[in-house]
Amino acid sequence: MKSFTLQATCTTTNARATTLVLGHGPLETPVFMPVGTAGSVKGLTTSTLEAEPQNNQIILANTYHLALRPGPELLGEIGGLHKFMGWDRNILTDSGGFQMVSLLALAKITEEGVTFQSPVDGTQMLLTPEESMRVQNNIGSDIMMALDDVVSSVTVDDARFLEATHRTLRWIDRCIAAHARPNEQCLFGITQGGLDVSPGGLRDICLTGMLKRDAHLPGYAIGGLAGGESKDHFWRVVLHGCQRLPINKPRYLMGVGYPLDLIVCTALGVDMYDCVYPTRTARFGTALVPKGTLKLRNLSCKVDMNPIDATCQCSTCHTHTRSSLNYLFSENTTLAGQLLTVHNVAYMMQLVRRMRKAVVENKYPTFVINFLQVQFVGKEVPCWVVEALMAVGIDLTKEKELVLEVRTKEAAEAAEAAEAAEAAEAAVVAVAAVAAVAAVAADPNEPPAKRQKDSHS
C-alpha cells in the first residue's frame, strides 16, 4: 500500500472516511466491492464498471476459482488478472478460505491446507497457505487475503472453533513467509474466533495474535460472519473487532452487502465490504431502492412507467421503465439481468459515496436516521439495529418518526439466558485455549488442537 489517509471521523459514532492508495489507484472508503468471482462481474463489462455513477475503484475476485480456471500459470505469463480482464483499477482477491464453508462437502481440512474436489471435473486440489500466496502473486491483485481456517458461524462444535482460531494464526505466518511481492501487493490478515467476544475469548486470541504480526499486515478483515448467525451476535462481533483493530489501517468486513448492514457497520467502524447480493438479486429481478427492494417481476410493475428509482443516475433508470423491465424479465431475457445489475451496483456505489460525504461533513448520525426513516416507513426498525447504533451513540428512541421493534419480556429473558450460557461456554473454551498455549510451549511444532485427529471434513 502506497499510503493510507484517515480523512475524517464521525464525532458521535466510529464511522470514518479514509483513502488507500494502492497499485492501481486510490480507493476511497467506505467502499462496496462488487464480486467478480472468476474475473468478471456477471453481466457487466469493465467499461460499465468504470462509468458513472458506478465508477468502481475496486472489484473482488476469488483465488480458488481462478486457480481452477484459467489457472495461475496462464495469469502469471500474461502479466496478471488486470491485463487478462482489461481492468486497470484495483482488485482484491479472497484467499479461497471461504470455500471451506461453501464447498465443505468437497473439502478436507488439515494442518497442511485444504484439499478440494473440483466441482468442475472432480480432480483434487490442495490449497495451502503457500499455494494461496503463489496463486495470488500470479493474479497480481492489489489486496490479497491470507488463507484462514474458516468455520461456519452456526457451527456448534466449540473444539472446531478453537482449532480454527489457532490454525489461522499459524497459517498467517506461513502466508507472510510465502508472500513474494510485499512491496507491490498488500496482504490483509483475517480475524476469526466464531461469535466469542468474551474477554480473553477466541476473538481476542485471534486479534492479539494478528496484532503481533502488524508490521507485515497493511490491513485487516473481520471474517467468519454473514453465515446465518443472529444479527445480535453479528453486530457485537463487528464492534468488538473495530474497537481492537488499528486506527491507521483499513478494516474489511467480509461477505457483507445488504445496504442496512453497511449503514450500521460503518457506524461501528468498518471501511470495506463485499457481497454477491446486489448482483445476484438483480438476476432474479429484485431492484435495490431507497425504500428497500422492488420486485420487478411483480404484476404491479407491468404498467408502471416510472424508472426503478427516480433519484438514481444510472443508465438503466435513464432509459428503462419498470414496465419495460417487467416485460424483459417475463421473457427471461439476458438483457433484463444485465440492466438491473447496472442499477444495483450503481445504487450501492451511490450509497457509499453519500455515506462518505456524511462522515466528512460530520453528519453521519443524521444520515443514518434519514436512511432509516425512508427504509422503514410503516415498518419496525429491528432491535439489533437500535441496539447496535445505541452502542456508538445514536439513540433511535428519541426519533418520533421511527417505529422501533420492542423486545418482549420473554425475549429479553431468553437473550439474557443465552448470553449466560455463551459466557459459560466461553469460559470452558478459554481454559482449553490456555492448555493449548501450554502445549505449544512444550512442543511448538505440534498443532495445539486435536492432535489425535488433525482433520475436519
Q: Which of 94, 148, 271, 309 is catalytic?
A: 94
**Across 1-24, average pLDDT:** 98
**Across 103-119, average pLDDT:** 83
User: Where along the chain do its domains lie?
Assistant: 3-275, 283-404
How high is the mean pLDDT of the chain?
90
Residue 105 confidence class, pLDDT cut points 50, 70, 90: low
CATH number at 3-275: 3.20.20.105
**Across 235-249, average pLDDT:** 98
Distance, CA of 390 to CA of 382 (rounded, Å): 13
**Across 233-255, average pLDDT:** 98
At 106 the pLDDT is 72
Decide if 265 contacts 253 (C-beta within 8 A): yes
Q: Which of 148, 271, 274, 309 is catalytic?
A: 274
At 433 the pLDDT is 41
Residue 409 confidence class, pLDDT cut points 50, 70, 90: low
Per-residue pLDDT tens digits for 123-137: 888 999 999 999 999
Torsion of CA 270, 160, 107, 221, to 10 degrees: 10
Residue 97 confidence class, pLDDT cut points 50, 70, 90: confident
At 412 the pLDDT is 58
Residue 107 confidence class, pLDDT cut points 50, 70, 90: confident
**Residue 149 among the catalytic residues:** no
**Residue 274 among the catalytic residues:** yes
